[in-house]
Amino acid sequence: MGDEAQTTSTTVSKEITSQPNQDELILAQQRQIEKEISDSTTLVGELEPISSLNNEYSSDEVYLDKVKDLGEKYKFIRRTRPDGNCFFRAFSYANIERLLSKKEDYNEFYRISEESKDVLVSLGFQQFTVEDFYDTYMEVLKKLKNIENLDEAHKELHTTFNEQGFSDYMVVYLRLLTSGQLQKDQDFYSCFIEGDRTVTDFCHQEVEPMYKESDHIHIIAACAALNTGVRVIYMDRGTEKSCTAHDLPEGCSPTVHLLYRPGHYDILYL
């Protein structure tokens, strides 16, 4: 009797100790996948013709029709790394890129960005860490502001966004701005949040952590935070021949164009 009890308890404790190993295995595999993705795709790619999408769908009629349709509206695509941050990275990049050629708009954007830290701190964000991201964000914007030659500015933007440290800091700050926007207009946004989460909970769980994917609500808040509009072109397995376009917020004149394929955003150019 006693022996039996002891053997069961040892098998149970073996099971218990094997659980962490399972966890660690899952984590290791996850890291492996992340590494493969980061080795094969740059954070923000070079301009490529729309037709480059054909290689991905060589035997898929539904998608080929849509790529053709897309090619009639847009000239280029710029791919981003599918790491869950793609919307924020693509949006931040495309928005700054278009502003580079419009000095006045850029200065206005710079001014709003300068004030953004105080807004976030007043909303209850931790001053110490917000400052850290804000400083790097402004450092990048300032550097770009001071480059006179447009080509050089574009090159600098591209290099900065492909340096993991800086690129991620730009993403984090846009995430914070988005979270700030959601919390500032809680009453409005709370209607769009599923489950019984508060807007603040939602921000802590879905907006502020890195690698969390973006939904409509993220996009609308991010647009409001940067005071601009986005057109998202949806390309999925739907049977219609053309892609559907959505302007966010509705009725805006979009300045940034993004291609959405399930789970991922890339930048489009007219």
The residue type at 164? Q
- Return d(Cα 168, Cα 157) in angstroms, integer: 14
Q: Which of residues 108-137 bind other proteins (CB under 8 A)?
A: 124-130, 132-133, 136
Instruction: Pick from 208, 213, 246, 249 the residue near other proteins by CB under 8 A.
Output: 208
Helix (H, G, I), strand (E, B) or coil at 268: strand
Closest by alpha carbon to 92, among 153, 177, 34, 164? 177
Where helices occur in the chain by DSSP H, the ranges are: 2-40, 61-73, 86-100, 103-122, 127-145, 150-161, 164-184, 186-189, 199-202, 216-226
Instruction: Pick from 9, 32, 51, 159 the residue near other proteins by CB under 8 A.
Output: 9
Using CB under 8 A as the binding rule, whether residue 176 contacts other proteins is answered as yes
Between 84 and 229, name the residue whose CB sits nearer to other proteins: 84
How many CB atoms sit inside 10 A of residue 43's CB? 22
Using CB under 8 A as the binding rule, whether residue 18 contacts other proteins is answered as no
Closest by alpha carbon to 269, among 49, 107, 91? 49
Using CB under 8 A as the binding rule, whether residue 19 contacts other proteins is answered as yes
Residue 83 annotated among the catalytic residues of the structure: yes
Using CB under 8 A as the binding rule, whether residue 206 contacts other proteins is answered as no
Instruction: Pick from 25, 27, 150, 245 the residue near other proteins by CB under 8 A.
Output: 27
Closest by alpha carbon to 90, among 252, 233, 238, 244? 233
Q: Which of 83, 158, 203, 243 is catalytic?
A: 83
Number of residues near other proteins (by CB under 8 A):
34
- In the DSSP assignment, the letter for residue 206 is I
Using CB under 8 A as the binding rule, whether residue 20 contacts other proteins is answered as yes
Residues at the interface with other proteins (CB under 8 A) = 1-2, 9, 12-13, 16, 19-20, 23, 27, 124-130, 132-133, 136, 164-166, 168-169, 172, 176, 200, 204-205, 208-211
Task: Enumerate the active-site residues.
Answer: 83, 86, 264
